[in-house]
Structure 1
Amino acid sequence: MTAWTIRDFHSQDVEGILSLWQSLRENDVEPVYDLSEVLASCEKDHAVVAVQGEQIVGAAVGRAAHDQGWIVFLATLPAFRGRGIGTLLLSAVENRMAAHGLNKLSALMPETETRVEAFTNRGFVIKKNLRYFERHIPVQRAELGALEDLGGRILPRDLWDRVAGMSAEKELLERRLVMPLAESELAEEFGVVPPRAVVLFGPPGTGKTTFAKAIASRLEWPFVEVFPSRLAGEPGGLAGALRQTFLEIAELEHAVVFIDEVEEIASQRSGEPPSPMQGVTNELLKIIPAFRDQPGRLLVCATNFIRSLDSAFLRHGRFDYVIPIGLPDEQARSAMWNRFIPAQVLEQIDVVTLVAASGGFSPADIEFAARSASQRALEKALFDDVAPASGAPAVPRGPVTADYLETIAETKATVSDAVAADFLEDIAALART
């Protein structure tokens, strides 16, 4: 039998690495690092292979940063185990990393891997009582430049949890949008096609933008907001700039794309001769089907005036759901007041009275009234504060119920009764949930 030799990894060895990877999985050993990570380290870091003739029979892959090194992958084909190949592969890859001046070389092994002699032979010591934590980062390094050019960003991971109240809307969005996208393989097993586009409609200030951002946060996908008003000044005009923007978005692996006040570019087409904006609407109607063909992304359009949207824009096949986002009910208003009232005075505030007094308020109205009450209390403390009487019990400094009731009375509700009534009619006529 021809003797095996150890040499550096060559680009044509990828198929051999894949065979080694598969051999581990066939023996119920799930490698710690993904195949893509192993192959990337083969090309960019340090890798050696054991070769018999033309066959790759073993490989070791290492990665070094500063004085710390990691063994990313070590495997030999089953027929070649027990011959000391693993030990020599470890020695060879360690020699390749020596120039980094390593102080420590570590390796993570699956619990199901029982063949650890190669590591112990090289002086590795098994560490007890350690736990391995892992989290996948949603955006790859290569995507960051494209995301920055688009003005997109990664949002904080807790936005979904910070949406106060609106539990009915949150549950609907969780079931219809988030879960099929987050659990796409399971959804496919049940015959569910993950959504690609959705319209959120409702009166101003009800939280449509907040929900769009919260969905991106919940999915851990980049959030890209498209601003038609900014694109209008591009040399190719709004239609051309819109087309180019979506071509650039296609370069991202995942994205939640948000267009607010979409009625500005998708209003009813009418009139002779056609208005310049009709060309923009036509372009958007072409963009959406192409966007839908790309997995791992979601288009969220928001509008305060759904009646003004072009009828072709809302038809089945373009948008999976048309979801109403209305005014908060009592439970939601209570959650919002509890969020906006400072914690140190919350127990002294009659939240039930505030909930009753703020009926018909949007989330934006409630936040404005709460902030105004805090400002009012601060000004009183700075300019009108009177020292408490001797012996009087100490009370927390901050707004009181009267401050909130005063600001509620002074806050004009964003949504009038007429707009609220129209919204209910729009739900009956246009909503698809």
Structure 2
Amino acid sequence: MKSTHSWRNAPTYQSGNWYWDKKSDSLHFEAHNDLKDEMDRYIETNGYKFLRTITTAEEVIFHQNFARPETSYDYETIVSIDVRNLVLFLMPKEFLTKKFIEFMHTTEVSRLLNSLIMYFAYFLRLVELILIRRDELNGNMGIIQSEQTVETRRMFSIHLSQYRMLVGRNYSVILMDEGKVDHSNKCGSITISDNLIQEQFLAVATQIVWISMHRMAYDVIEMEMNRLFRSEHFIINKPGYLKFTAAEKSLLYGRRNKIVNCLAQVSPLIQELEHVPNEDLPILWIGERKYCGTDIRIATLELEYIVPNQQLHLIDVSRGIMGHPKRFYDTLLNLNWSAVREEHYSLENDPYHILRQPHLQLPNINEPTIRIMSKHCEHFLKLHRMNESISRKMLSKWLRRESIISSANGMVGVDIYNRCKNDLADSSYGPPIREIISNYFKVVTKLRKE
């Protein structure tokens, strides 16, 4: 098998554990693929096993066949496509169907994942606030809540509800779009085929959000993801899941959340769209129309949504690993603190929010009154974000992922001497000059359009 990629760029990352061998009185390395315990190799999401780590051979294959090419726009920056490609490489082989792979590369799913990452970036901060508040109330020196504290928490809940509206809007577009996912949102009315796609999407979306959030709070993300797209009826009693009180649920889930009989239950995402306040109606057009008005909250939400991931640092917004330089991360998108220390960042000079911890900005308590008095003008501009559909060649690669990995494993183990020897003995030539020039102009034209 001849590869068109250079072997000199093969990563040196290898996952495993070091242990002390008493017999030889020395350190030994045990790779994860040799471990008997599957907990070190896999992580289970909604009953499906995703790879937690990869071998050196799998890493080389991923870079050469499935990672975003170097000719992509802003290749040196982490964007949602990078996380999506990694999760598709780590997902179980039963997910490798043409319908599901094409579905994950649609514009509608890309927008839904973008809004989900926005939502969970804010949701996890509120969960942390709740846990801190628990410690304050349960300690010996309990702090009494003031009226101002209650109003602040109410504003936090309203802001989270607005992020949930964005997710619900994007999700409803997929529900109404024929040929993508066409299933009812109520319990007991989902066909076997559609239910399978929904189950697979929720598992992949959970992994994408979890990796995007620095692999933090996995159980919280998995629990909330199932609640959002289904309801609390589908949340299982897992040991790692948090238990929220009624007051905490009202803060996190909003006033629109209602629990009824399973057959009549509607998912929280759809509930948010059933009764949208008049001042929040422009949220449903974010990303489609350019907002013209004086409502600062709508303008802020629009800015966060339409700014590409690679430019988030320009508006000083933190959204997990999105927009961070790739040089700070390994293949599995784990942060390498040694590389960060070489940049000599400080709290005053931290454009990517790596040293600064994500925080909640205190809202204006009088914001609802100000928003009601805001003026909404007629829109003049429509927004359109470019999203490349998957090519036939790339689709074929994803469908043949398992065979590519199994057939390439032997090549990875060949040493440098034998590889050079094989290259010298190879008498085949590369592509013709015209093809090279044509490919060059295609790349340049695409980058100029973006």
Q: Higher relative CO (CA 8 A, sep ≥ 6), structure 1 or 2?
A: 2
User: Which structure shows the bigger proportion of residues in helix conformation?
Assistant: 2
Fold shared, TM-score > 0.5 on shorter chain? no
Name which one, 1 or 2, has greater alpha-carbon Rg. Answer: 1
TM-score (norm. length: structure 1): 0.24
TM-score (norm. length: structure 2): 0.23
